[in-house]
A and B are shown apart, each in its own frame.
Chain A
């Protein structure tokens, strides 16, 4: 019995449409069903403090089914399963069984929903018929892009590469007492098929190098973590990434730079807090997290429609269907922000996980809020066409509305002038850790490094500091946007219950605004 490979999708692409057609014919009151099947072939290696720690090459095969069904009402039912090599011979039977169980859940759910609608009088009225906004039904194949096939990389080479970087850090920075270096390369192939006739076969390569370092100084230690990567093959680790919007040096240099920062910061003083707002200049890496937290998350329509109230929170951009910020000014005219799956990097894809062709959605256009990332269901509730942002981290898990590449657009200012024009202020270099209010109406984000700006020059370096601000006021106060736009990977965006940790892209240029700075 051979291990599962991505080639399993070839067989599924032939057989799954018939399974769905059969379900539609056979199962009464089935309104819609879709099935996702995903195979990943991955390899990893980890070094720690210059020594081998672990490695592995394996496959993961998962499937997920959504069924909308019901007699007196229509409601959803979902099921996720993990598949192994032993299931390959009976793959179609396993998928059929999954469809039937999801159908049973949907039918039971619809019956309860109809009963609740009758039973709870005025409060039952919003238990509405579930609709999906109509989208183009596509049949398509999207190949992965890579030069060195992730499946071809010898594990020994990966272990050696991780150990080399780990030892180089220890040799270069004596104050770095701990380092952890994981490398990952993988090829994923996803099938999406629906009872509407969609059949989409997408493949993605992904290669990532990460570094976690702890530098110990006289008074404290500094723990830093950062990730480089791209939806490409193993070539990314040795050669880096050289895309106009997404650029990294070779991984060894990337990790050594992080270690150098940690060593430098362990000897730096903590940032003193300001009593009031001051001028702050934020670099593209820092704005990657700002765009993520205060533009991306509140522009997710499931969150805005209260579907995440118990978990990730709501959005200050929407009170209800008639009271929202669409068309309202929420930022300076210099600020434009959007989510674009066509950009390269971790947030790139052609179709989301309900088969919707992915397209750019503008969130802020020269300061005016324009709209949300959505799914077919939320688009049917709020209006507007689906834009392809319904994504899951595994086929076994339900899709959620997720960012693709959510960014601040670049401007035309010279980044050096943005700093040079500041008499007194602070320059935030690199993002570190966020803490955001429930509806994203205010935030605090720490920076990797903070420099004082005095008379247009960067002077003292500080550790353990960042900014805190009211979101709208911060965006309204933006008075300079640089032309140095950059994209970065975010490897671990958490959302959902159970938590899904998603890889996606964020970015922006150098920007200037006003905020309180807070030290540690």
Chain B
């Protein structure tokens, strides 16, 4: 992987070379090197398998140039990139592509300018994780498989269910998921911010699903970290324990329930519904369910949500955005009131000059709107991980945190619910009739329980939990927009982070 010095020199050279070309009024040089390493896990006790199915990786590096050309018909904005060449010839090829591609975008105002806030997060990556070997990548996958298999073998519940080795295999024990490592390096320099800025990020995640398939019992295990030392076999063991705990589940009859969402469902609902609704581009397109609601109540007053890209140790943290701007905290909903949007430089500048900005965004005046649109979320994520030199910036969340006004632990939440459903994992969460309509559909897939009060609701007492049988759970949940927000408001004080999201179409 190219080191930071090479990337920095290339960014500086690209800026100097490109700004010297005739007709060029602004330049932004973005240089990055990325690697996404992943071992996909597939163990099945009842079907021949490989255990670690795919130790694999995709690596890339290169340069991306945004240029502004002063032309007779007006300014033109272009973007071009070139992989695997940080020399002048690579810069020239990226520049030629940008010049050929330049268009007269009337909404373009300028390339990013410095913000008043300083950068707060530096030198936070793990050098050991940045140099992982092929052999260590493979070993990581087997570490998780080992954790889960040891848990299955040690389980007395499974032993009670299966009298003999063949019967144990016939239980249909499944370990599925992955270990993912992301290595990112970037350097950026521009006409307005000519001093080269750099950033290095590492993260390692494991996302594991285990099943005792013959008993329709499924459980999940997770781990996320930014350092190789954070990694262990725990996610495998956790998933296997969760699958075993789900034995004896019952199917849930159709109906209306009081629902408590665990962290993964909260993250899923944020990812697919709330964050798209809080995206500046969605407001520009008049597609947000929160259209014109800035400064107004959109949720329960118990609910606050913010995005914070500069939290030390969190897997979504970055020192700077892919526009060279400092990351930081953006309050999206504070005590139920819409207070901010995820935005990048282009979208902020465009929306602030939109004649319909008051109708689209809301807010008392331009000062309020500007405060809501600080461009802290312009990133070039893609290809399963990495800051992609071949992409222009777009809006992406970092670490999204949900806070309740009255933080409760899970048991207290269950006690207050009395009878209901705890939903620990959902899937295929889509705004089924479009984002603006505000309703969604998803399927409950694992880690879920019936909540039943042990005594009458008037007498506080421990609640009992019965696992929900997963695979044929016909639980297609529906809720209107107001209900979604109410559910979120009671989700407790967890920080859902950004787990890898299984999605399909």
Contact = CB atoms under 8 A, between A and B. Distances in A.
A178 B291 CA distance: 14
A173 interface: no
A520 B97 CA distance: 45
Interface in B387-436: 390, 392, 427-436
A61 to B, nearest CB: 8
Given A214-B287, A437-B443, A438-B427, A54 B103 contact: yes
Interface in A49-63: 51-58, 61
A397 B48 contact: no
Contact of A306 (B36, B47, B77, B476): B47
A377 to B, nearest CB: 9
A435 B428 contact: yes
B286 A381 contact: no
A184 to B, nearest CB: 14
B258 to A, nearest CB: 21
Contacts of A108: 55, 134-135, 138-139
Nearest to A120: B149
B153 interface: yes
Interface in B263-310: 284-287, 291
Given A58-B80, A81-B58, A464-B434, A177 B286 contact: yes
Given A121-B153, A130-B50, A464-B434, A498 B439 contact: no
Interface residues of A, number: 104
Q: How large is the interface on B (under 10, 10 to 19, 20 to 34, 35 or more residues)?
A: 35 or more
A223 B89 CA distance: 44
B138 A223 contact: no
B45 interface: yes
A493 interface: yes
Interface stretch (B187-195, B206-214, B363-371, B459-467): B206-214
A311 interface: yes
Given A116-B51, A126-B47, A436-B428, A499 B503 contact: yes
Contact of B47 (A113, A122, A305): A305
A365 to B, nearest CB: 25
A21 interface: no
B474 A497 contact: no
A83 B84 contact: yes
Nearest to A51: B106
Contacts of B104: 51-52
Contact of A221 (B41, B80, B436): B436
B249 interface: no
A205 interface: no
Contacts of A52: 103-106
Point out which of A109, A221, A396, A442 has the most chain B C-beta atoms below 10 A from its C-beta: A109
B433 A1 contact: no
A143 interface: no
Nearest to B77: A54
Nearest to B386: A498
Point out which of B434, B437, B474, B476 has the most chain A C-beta atoms below 10 A from its C-beta: B434
Interface string A39-79: 00000000010011111111001000000000000011111
B42 interface: yes
B169 A126 contact: yes
A86 B504 CA distance: 36
Given A57-B97, A308-B176, A214 B53 contact: no
Given A381-B48, A433-B433, A446-B433, A76 B138 contact: no
A446 B291 CA distance: 23
Nearest to B475: A437
Interface stretch (A22-30, A226-234, A312-320): A312-320
A494 interface: yes
A83 B430 contact: no
Given A108-B139, A113-B52, A435-B442, A306 B208 contact: no
B90 A84 contact: yes
A307 B176 contact: yes
Given A126-B44, A320-B46, A438-B443, A83 B83 contact: yes
A292 B103 CA distance: 37
Given A381-B47, A442-B476, A51 B107 contact: yes
Given A84-B83, A309-B176, A123 B436 contact: no
Contacts of A439: 471-472
A48 B106 CA distance: 10
Contacts of A86: 84-85, 87, 89-90
A171 interface: no
B348 interface: no
A75 B42 CA distance: 12
A54 B178 contact: no
Nearest to B102: A55
Contacts of B38: 497-498
B101 A498 contact: no
B288 to A, nearest CB: 9
A233 B77 CA distance: 27
A155 interface: yes
B47 A464 contact: no
Nearest to A266: B436
A77 B97 CA distance: 36
A506 to B, nearest CB: 11
A464 B437 contact: yes
By Cβ-Cβ distance, the 5 closest A-B pairs, closest first, are A498-B384, A84-B84, A122-B165, A128-B48, A520-B433
Interface of A: 1, 3, 48, 51-58, 61, 75-87, 101, 104-105, 108-109, 112-113, 116, 119-128, 130, 155, 159, 177-178, 180, 214, 216, 220-223, 270, 292, 297, 305-314, 319-321, 381, 396-398, 432-439, 441-442, 444, 446, 463-466, 468, 470, 490, 492-495, 497-499, 501, 518, 520
19 contacts: A51-B106, A52-B106, A53-B103, A58-B80, A78-B56, A108-B55, A112-B51, A122-B166, A178-B284, A306-B176, A309-B42, A312-B502, A312-B504, A313-B502, A314-B471, A444-B441, A446-B433, A466-B433, A498-B58
